[in-house]
Amino acid sequence: MSRAEYTVKNSQQLLLMRKAGLITRAALDAVRKAVKPGVSTLELDKIADDTMNALGAHSNFQLVDGYFHTICASINDEVVHGIPSKDRVLRAGDLLSIDCGAEIDGWNGDSAFSMVVPGESSDAAAIVVARQQLSDVTEQSLWVGIAALAKASHLNEVGAAIEAFVAEKASEHGRDYGILEDYIGHGIGRTMHEEPAVFNYAVRHKGPKVGPGLVVAIEPMITGGDDSVKVLADGWTVSSEDGSDAAHWEHTVAVHEGGIWVLTAEDGGLAGLAPFGIVPVPVQG
Ligand code: MG
Ligand code: MG
């Protein structure tokens, strides 16, 4: 398959993907509610797994060769792919990123969020404030990307919009933000990862034409410093090279005849897209 192609999903298939998207959302919401100091990332993993299973789905992360957990839980300078562990215990003020995906009826969802662990932190107040700001910028950049997709003629307009927004925020906040280059978003459907690539930054080629039936996971991964990363000795965890904190936000988004629909947002993207004057349109069953 060339980079200009992707598997088109019809309305019936988008409705199945919505189901996978909402179960992914439910698992992430359950995790978010359980986040507090003293909780281990392995406990969060069980909450996500139990939530998916209770809704008739299973974790698609467990289908990835060599990965045995339901979520990835990445803390502070870890950007993505952190492995849940009973020894990773949350502290107040930590910047936590949770990524997970559900598969049901052969269709997939994929979504992630970041948050600062509530409570009185032993880290300096300025560090905790900067972590929240980094998460906010990353979340906003995701919505900038989704809004760009709604209006795009070609897919790579998404990454150009994300990069421009992040650069603007860096100058506004007087700090560095690094967009990861080697880790990007992707098409999604019968498998969690499929064509096309979804960049979080401007690239020279335009990418595939955006049209009905395109479903992508848009997922900016941003550090509060340089964009260089390394993979830790566990073979999975991606961490910033310079030790700067990192955030990760992700949604699975469908383009269809009627408009755009954020499959992993409870409201389909209504609130997130409102500032852009875009109203998401659900596919009718
Ligand atoms: Mg993900
Ligand atoms: Mg993804």
Q: Residue 142 has what pLDDT? A: 98
Quote the ligand 2 centre to 251 CA distance (angstroms): 8
Quote the ligand 1 centre to 124 CA distance (angstroms): 30
Quote the ligand 2 centre to 201 CA distance (angstroms): 16
| Residue 279 reports pLDDT greater than 90 | yes
Q: Mean pLDDT, the chain, as a whole number?
A: 96
Quote the ligand 1 centre to 243 CA distance (angstroms): 22
pLDDT-derived band at 273, boundaries 50, 70, 90: very high
The percentage of the chain sitting over the pLDDT mark of 90, rounded to a whole number, equals 97
Contact between residue 90 and residue 132 where contact means Cβ atoms under 8 Å apart: no
Over range 89-108, report the average pLDDT: 98
pTM over 0.85: yes
Over range 154-175, report the average pLDDT: 98
pLDDT-derived band at 2, boundaries 50, 70, 90: very low
Quote the ligand 1 centre to 187 CA distance (angstroms): 11
Return the amino acid letter for 51.
T
Of all ligands present, the nearest one to the C-alpha of 216 is 2
Neighbours of 239 (CB within 10 A): 22
Quote the ligand 1 centre to 160 CA distance (angstroms): 21
How far is residue 178 from each of residues 99, 220, 269, 272, 279, measured CA to CA in Å?
19, 10, 26, 23, 30
Q: Residue 178 has what pLDDT? A: 98
Contact between residue 281 and residue 261 where contact means Cβ atoms under 8 Å apart: yes
| Residue 37 reports pLDDT greater than 50 | yes
Quote the ligand 1 centre to 80 CA distance (angstroms): 9
Question: What is the residue extent of each domain of the chain?
Answer: 11-276
Contact between residue 137 and residue 222 where contact means Cβ atoms under 8 Å apart: yes
List, as ranges, residues with CB under 5 A of the ion ligand 2.
110, 217, 219
Q: Residue 257 has what pLDDT? A: 95
Quote the ligand 2 centre to 70 CA distance (angstroms): 13
pLDDT per residue over 186-207, tens digit each?
Answer: 999 999 999 999 999 999 999 9
| Residue 60 reports pLDDT greater than 80 | yes
| Residue 168 reports pLDDT greater than 60 | yes
CB-count exposure of residue 173 (10 Å: 0-12, 13-18, 19+): middle
pLDDT-derived band at 258, boundaries 50, 70, 90: very high
| Residue 128 reports pLDDT greater than 50 | yes
Q: Residue 1 has what pLDDT? A: 42
Quote the ligand 1 centre to 2 CA distance (angstroms): 23
List, as ranges, residues with CB under 5 A of the ion ligand 1.
99, 110, 112, 250
DSSP string, 247-283: EE-BEEEEEETTEEEETTSTTTTHHHHGGGT----PP
Of all ligands present, the nearest one to the C-alpha of 28 is 1
Q: What is the CATH number assigned to the segment(s) 11-276?
A: 3.90.230.10
The percentage of the chain sitting over the pLDDT mark of 70, rounded to a whole number, equals 99
Phi-psi category of 41—alpha, beta or left, where left has phi over 0 and alpha has psi -120 to 50? Answer: alpha
pLDDT per residue over 72-95, tens digit each?
Answer: 999 999 999 999 999 999 999 999
Of all ligands present, the nearest one to the C-alpha of 198 is 2
Q: Residue 3 has what pLDDT? A: 43
pLDDT-derived band at 285, boundaries 50, 70, 90: confident
Of all ligands present, the nearest one to the C-alpha of 188 is 2
Quote the ligand 2 centre to 120 CA distance (angstroms): 32
Quote the ligand 2 centre to 198 CA distance (angstroms): 10
| Residue 163 reports pLDDT greater than 70 | yes
Quote the ligand 1 centre to 190 CA distance (angstroms): 15
Q: Residue 5 has what pLDDT? A: 80
Quote the ligand 2 centre to 219 CA distance (angstroms): 6
